[in-house]
């Protein structure tokens, strides 16, 4: 399971409180989604998208060998200090087909936005893609989704085309983006 400590602001005024916050903040972890995560994942999906996927689509993705749903969790501690439960902060769905990974869906819980959750999920997906021998990563993104476009460009994805009216709900185009993976030896 991959883990991430959230970034802490480095402003001079907030340095001391930030140091305390680091100790108090939980680490985020990534694991594969299980069927019992569906209700919480659906809450995030509905909050993130005007036209969310159905629960049935998520169930089908869980059944396919080529599909992986990663979730980023925030472990919650009990009053006694032990791990009591966890809260899902975001998820990413991808397909691995031959040597290509195709990202289908990325969403972060609104309460966890701007905390690096999507970056953490993207990094873990790329790590898994390399481990599986993938050489290419692809995705489509709404032309109007500036935050997602910036995220993907930050991971060195480049636009290679447009799918007109891809998002039929509003007739919006999708930008097709790709990233070639290189192994470091």
pLDDT of residue 75: 83
- pTM confidence score: 0.82
Collapsing DSSP to helix, strand or coil, 7 comes out as coil
Strand-pair partners of 176: 140, 161
Measured between alpha carbons, how far is 33 from 19 in angstroms, rounded to an integer? 32
**159 near 176, Cβ under 8 Å?**
yes
pLDDT band at residue 182 under the 50/70/90 scheme: confident
| Burial class of residue 160, CB neighbours in 10 A (0-12, 13-18, 19+) | exposed
pLDDT in tens, 62-94: 999 999 999 999 987 666 666 567 899 999 999
pLDDT at 84: 67
Instruction: Give the dihedral of Cα atoms 157, 161, 162, 166; nearest 10 deg.
Output: -70
Q: Is the pLDDT of residue 185 over 60?
A: no
Distance (Å, rounded) from C-alpha 136 to C-alpha 113?
27
CA neighbor of 92 nearest in space, from 101, 83, 100: 101
DSSP label at 64? -
Query: What are the boundaries of each domain within the chain?
Result: 2-180
- Determine what percent of the chain is predicted with pLDDT higher than 70: 81
Q: What is the pLDDT of residue 82?
A: 61
Name the residue among 71, 180, 67, 72 with its Cα closest to residue 130: 180
For residue range 121-161, what is the model confidence (pLDDT) as tens digits? Answer: 999 999 999 999 999 999 999 999 999 999 999 999 999 99
pLDDT digits (tens, 9 = 90+) for 13-43: 443 333 333 334 458 999 999 999 999 999 9
pLDDT recorded at residue 16: 38
Q: Residue 170: what pLDDT?
A: 85
User: In this model, does residue 12 exceed pLDDT 60?
Assistant: no
Bridge-partner residues for 50, per DSSP? none
Q: What is the CA radius of gyration of the chain?
A: 18
pLDDT at 80: 62
Q: Does domain 2-180 have CATH number 3.30.300.30?
A: no
pLDDT (mean) for 95-100: 96
């Amino acid at each position: 399971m991959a883990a991430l400590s959230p970034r802490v602001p480095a402003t001079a005024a907030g340095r001391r409180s930030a140091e305390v916050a680091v100790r108090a903040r939980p680490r985020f972890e990534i694991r594969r989604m299980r069927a019992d995560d569906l209700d919480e994942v659906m809450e995030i999906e509905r909050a993130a998208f005007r036209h969310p996927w159905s629960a049935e689509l998520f169930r089908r993705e869980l059944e396919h060998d080529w599909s992986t749903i990663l979730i980023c969790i925030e472990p919650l501690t009990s009053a006694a200090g032990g791990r009591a439960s966890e809260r899902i902060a975001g998820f990413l769905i991808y397909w691995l087909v031959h040597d290509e990974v195709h990202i289908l869906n990325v969403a972060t819980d609104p309460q966890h936005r701007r905390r690096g959750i999507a970056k953490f999920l993207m990094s873990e997906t790329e790590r898994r893609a390399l481990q599986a021998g993938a050489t290419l990563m692809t995705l489509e993104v709404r032309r109007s989704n500036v935050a997602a476009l910036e995220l993907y460009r930050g991971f060195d994805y480049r636009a290679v085309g447009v799918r007109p009216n891809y998002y039929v709900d509003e007739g919006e185009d999708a930008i097709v983006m790709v990233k070639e993976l290189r192994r470091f030896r």
